Structure 1
Amino acid sequence: MTELTAHWKKSSKSAQGNCVEARLSGPNTVEIRDSKLPNGPSISIPSESWTAFINATKSPN
């Protein structure tokens, strides 16, 4: 995923729309939800944790 904004963003690599979506919900907070349940629950995590997660899941080039 690229930089987050206040709008929900889905990974460009998600298959058939089944993925998580993320957005900035505050200056240091990322909100995450299931793309299949856009009106369902979401979780909030520190933006540092989101960055660490994204960096850990990137494929080596």
Structure 2
Amino acid sequence: MTVTWRKSTSSGANTSCVEVANSLDAVRDSKNPSGPVLSVDRAEFTAFLADVKSGRFDG
């Protein structure tokens, strides 16, 4: 299976960010796409993304 990766549209040309698999079960460093991949629990990651979008972690 081919994994499609995406990064935030707000990152623009910045390469210092993470990319998320479209399946929402993995993340990786955009600067090192052939490097290690962190597998995550999809439900927990979806909840984390909802918290980010709600502004919960804004300083």
Q: Spell out structure 1 runs of 4+ moving beyond 4 A.
A: none
Q: Paired residue for 1:13, among 1, 10, 13? A: 10
Q: 1-side partners of 2:15 and 2:6: how far apart?
A: 12
Total equivalences in the alignment: 51
The TM-score normalised by the length of structure 2 is 0.73
- CA RMSD, 1 decimal: 1.7
Give the structure with the higher percent helix. Answer: 2
Give the structure with the higher percent strand. Answer: 1
Note the residue ranges of structure 1 that are not aligned, 5 or more in a row: 1-5
Q: Report percent identity of matched pairs.
A: 39
Deviates more, 1:30-39 or 1:10-19: 10-19
Note the residue ranges of structure 2 that are not aligned, 5 or more in a row: none
The TM-score normalised by the length of structure 1 is 0.71
What whole-Å deviation, never above 9, does each CA across 1:5-26 have from its counterpart, x for those lacking one? x3001111115122100112xx
